[in-house]
Amino acid sequence: MHEIAVLPGDGIGHEIMEEAIKVINTVEKRFNIAFKLNHALVGGAAWDKYRKHLPEETLDICEKSNAILFGAVGGPVKEQTSSKWCGTEVNALLGLRKHFGLYANLRPAKLYPALAFASSLRDDIAKEGFDLLVVRELTGGIYFGKPKGRMGKGEDEYAFDTMIYKRGEIKRIAQVAFKAARNRRRKVTSIDKANVLTTMVLWREVVDDIAKEYPDIEYEPMYVDNAAMQLTRNPKKFDVILCGNLFGDILSDEAAAITGSLGMSPSASLSEGNFGMYEPSGGSAQDIAGKGIANPIAQILSTAMMLRYSFDMNEEANSIENAVDKVLIDGYRTPDIIQKRMKKVNTKEMGTLIAGNI
Ligand code: NAD
Global pTM? 0.91
Enzyme catalytic residues? 143, 193, 225, 249, 253
253 pLDDT exceeds 90?
A: no
Superfamily grouping for domain 1-102+272-358: Isopropylmalate Dehydrogenase (3.40.718.10)
Could you tell me what percent of the chain has a pLDDT over 70? Answer: 100
User: Which whole number is the average pLDDT over 63-81?
Assistant: 92
Residue to substitute in 89, 269, 277, 346 for testing ligand 1 pocket (most ligand atoms within 8 angstroms of CB): 89
Residue 19: what pLDDT? Answer: 98
Query: Ligand 1 center to residue 208 CA distance, Å?
Result: 38
Distances (CA, A) of 145 to 99, 110, 170, 223: 18, 32, 14, 22
240-243/130-137 β-pairing: parallel
261 pLDDT exceeds 80?
A: no
344 pLDDT exceeds 90?
A: yes
Residue 256: what pLDDT? Answer: 87
Residue 72: what pLDDT? Answer: 96
271 pLDDT exceeds 90?
A: yes
Residue to substitute in 97, 262, 346 for testing ligand 1 pocket (most ligand atoms within 8 angstroms of CB): 262
266-270/240-243 β-pairing: unpaired
**pLDDT confidence bin for 78, thresholds 50/70/90:** confident
263 pLDDT exceeds 90?
A: no
Output the residue whose Cα is nearest ligand 1's atom 32. Answer: 74
Output the residue whose Cα is nearest ligand 1's atom 23. Answer: 283
Contact 307, 276 (CB under 8 A): no
Q: Which of 32, 62, 35, 126 is nearest to 279 (CA)?
A: 62
Fold of 120-258: Isopropylmalate Dehydrogenase (3.40.718)
Q: Say if ligand 1 is within 6 A of residue 264 CB.
A: no
Residue 87: what pLDDT? Answer: 86
Q: Where in the chain is the domain with CATH 3.40.718.10?
A: 1-102+272-358, 120-258
